[in-house]
Amino acid sequence: MNPKLLCLILLAFVNVHAQTITVSVPSSAPTAAPTLKPSLFSLSIEQDYWPDWAGTTEPNTFFVNTLENLKNRTGEPPWFRIGANSQDRTDFNPAVQYSETVPVAPSVASPYPEASEVIVGDGFYQIAENLPCGTNVVWGVNLLTNNMTAAFLEAQSIYEAFSSPAMVAAGVTLDSIEIGNEPDLYPGKLNYTSTNWNVSAYIAQWTRIATNLTNSGFVSSEGAKFLGPSWAGVSNAAKGFTPRGIINGGMLSSPAGQLLRTYSDHHYQCGPGEILSDLVVKANVRSNLTQLKPAISLIHSMGLDYVLGETGSCWGHGAVNTSNVGGAAIWTLDYTLFAGTLNISRLFFHQGVGFKYNAIQPVTLTRSILDGSPLSSPLPPHVQPPYHAALVAAEAIGTSGVTTIVELDIDDAAVSGYAFFENGVLKRAVLINLTLFFAASGAARGSKTIALSVTGTVQIKRLFIPSADATTGLVWAGQSFDTEDGLACGDAVEETASADSIVLNDTEALLVTFLDNGGY
């Protein structure tokens, strides 16, 4: 075709359809599309207040309901990683029933600080039986104190809890044991310095404890494995606290090291000073996650699984009015699904009682998560905006167990999209507008029409977010989950539309189901 003519046709298209974005959707899955785990969205729990999450003599019904909502959508509940900072402050005492903590006084900067010391007994691990049937658990033991007895007693209690008839009957499984949290950050703690603590010292200390747990039968090729090294930092360097560093240092070669089957790195996109308009940016989500690509392919080449064993929007329990608002739901959804396209198996979103970035607050709170000030009335257990991202991702993945994902190529800096296939057949898509609509802006909420390159009718479910700065009022497909019991309120609402004219508002995500493709 004459280039000038082509240009005229394109110009005409732009003029007539100024509000339409055309998006090409592959009708069958590209071969490189990774398969998504049903539990792509998983949870990491700060273990100091673990009994608040699980419940002790009785399950925490509210929390269990929020997990069952996710299990209902994918067939599998989220996985749990329990430990984090407080795992390296934990000791074991058989005389303690569940746990005893030494609390830290709250402050404006840290309204819900982690306990400085945690002493646990057998019941602490046994209450994992309160989790939904089918839950897999990764549990952390102490590496920091380099106390073999403490690590041994913790791992023994974990092993016994998960071997107990009650836990087996509950269908809750121990997937792995994690020895140490963020050991690259040990210098400055206890007697660790940047001179005496390097990757070789780490490997030696880890291997000594891991060998004991393996020889004790707590970790084995038939049973639970190891997960690690759980660095705080991400780096592709050949030396140091990096994937290449542990491989070259021989960590995977010892009999215990051969049982390290899941490589876990921690990643937060930003810190506690982050503003929402820097967090919810398509390019930032991509640059933050694509830096992990060399590590992911190296780890996969070693035959290990790659997970983000602790992740979230902003480290330090989240950023005020950024991690806890509607815009964070948009961020969580885009971040989770983009990680899925990179073949990251699971993202364990970190949670602690009263943390700002939580998807779920499992117990009644009496002070503000933003500044620690006393609340005029207690705030019962509730879900926060990021929880809704988990619901959308769960429905997009579905129950097939073989769903694959590709990112859609969308020529718009604020719109992202993903397509989902089952057995190679196009089933669903997610469309996300990352443009932030603020309640006080005074402007009308923007929207655009998306024209997908497939024909036929689609079913649409909408994640309604009142505004990017709203902390409540989110509605997924007509249903509210911000309820007393954590269960959906209202009937599910689905719209139908033609695949070439789907309306997407600002600060909104849609789940599109293709009705005419493969007889869904």
Ligand X SMILES: *[C@@H]1O[C@H](CO)[C@@H](O)[C@H](O)[C@H]1NC(C)=O
Distance, CA of 234 to CA of 248 (rounded, Å) = 17
What is the pattern of x (binds ligand X, CB under 6 A) and - over residues 100-139? ----------------------------------------
Q: Which residues pair with 226 in a beta bridge?
A: 177, 260
Q: Which of 167, 172, 260, 279 touches ligand X by CB under 6 A?
A: 279
Which span sits near ligand X by CB under 6 A: 5-13, 81-89, 128-136, 140-148? 140-148
Measured from each CB, the residue nearest to ligand X is 446
Structure tokens at 156: 């023994």
Residue 497: CB minimum distance to ligand X, A? 9
293 binds ligand X (CB under 6 A): no
Q: Which of 173, 212, 459, 479 touches ligand X by CB under 6 A?
A: 212
In the bound state with ligand X, the residue whose beta carbon lies nearer, of 52 and 242, is 242
Q: Which of 189, 244, 300, 367 touches ligand X by CB under 6 A?
A: 300
Distance, CA of 283 to CA of 414 (rounded, Å) = 9
414 binds ligand X (CB under 6 A): yes
99 binds ligand X (CB under 6 A): no
What number of chain residues touch ligand X (CB under 6 A)? 56
Looking at residue 252, its amino acid is L
506 binds ligand X (CB under 6 A): yes
Residue recorded with tokens 């089952």: 422
What is the pattern of x (binds ligand X, CB under 6 A) and - over residues 151-190? -xx-------------------------------------
Distance, CA of 174 to CA of 138 (rounded, Å) = 6
Q: Which of 116, 287, 373, 441 touches ligand X by CB under 6 A?
A: 287
291 binds ligand X (CB under 6 A): yes
Q: Which of 5, 16, 18, 32 touches ligand X by CB under 6 A?
A: 32
Q: Which residues pair with 351 in a beta bridge?
A: 45
Per residue, the 3-state secondary structure of 198-231, as one string, reads: CHHHHHHHHHHHHHHHHHCCCCCCCCCEEEEEEE
Distance, CA of 440 to CA of 60 (rounded, Å) = 37
Q: What angle do CA 292, 298, 303 make, to 5 degrees?
A: 120
450 binds ligand X (CB under 6 A): yes
520 binds ligand X (CB under 6 A): no
In the bound state with ligand X, the residue whose beta carbon lies nearer, of 370 and 379, is 370
Sorted by sequence, the CB contacts under 8 Å of residue 322 that are 6+ apart come out as 274, 275, 276, 279, 313, 314, 328
Sequential DSSP letters for 465-518: -S-TT-SS--EETTBB--STTSS-BS----EEEETT-EEEESSEEEEEEETTSS
Residue 27: CB minimum distance to ligand X, A? 19
Scan residues 334-353 and list those touching ligand X (CB under 6 A).
343, 345
Residue 449: CB minimum distance to ligand X, A? 8
In the bound state with ligand X, the residue whose beta carbon lies nearer, of 6 and 255, is 255
Are the beta carbons of 29 and 402 closer than 8 angstroms?
no
Closest C-alpha among 115, 113, 91 to residue 103: 115
Q: Which residues pair with 227 in a beta bridge?
A: 178, 262
Are the beta carbons of 171 and 116 closer than 8 angstroms?
no
Sheet architecture: strand order including 20-23? 20-23, 447-452, 502-505
Which DSSP symbol is given to 34?
Answer: P
In the bound state with ligand X, the residue whose beta carbon lies nearer, of 7 and 17, is 17
Are the beta carbons of 343 and 336 closer than 8 angstroms?
no
In the bound state with ligand X, the residue whose beta carbon lies nearer, of 321 and 479, is 321
Q: What angle do CA 423, 392, 387 make, to 5 degrees?
A: 140
Distance, CA of 281 to CA of 436 (rounded, Å) = 10
Q: Is the dihedral of CA 125, 127, 129, 135 positive or negative?
A: negative
Which span sits near ligand X by CB under 6 A: 1-9, 384-392, 500-508, 510-518? 500-508
In the bound state with ligand X, the residue whose beta carbon lies nearer, of 414 and 425, is 414
In the bound state with ligand X, the residue whose beta carbon lies nearer, of 399 and 479, is 399
Residues engaged in binding ligand X (CB under 6 A): 21, 32, 34, 72, 75, 91-92, 146-150, 152-153, 191-192, 196-198, 200-201, 212, 215-216, 269-270, 274, 278-279, 284, 287-288, 291, 300, 305, 320-321, 343, 345, 370, 399, 412, 414-415, 433, 435, 445-448, 450, 464, 503-506
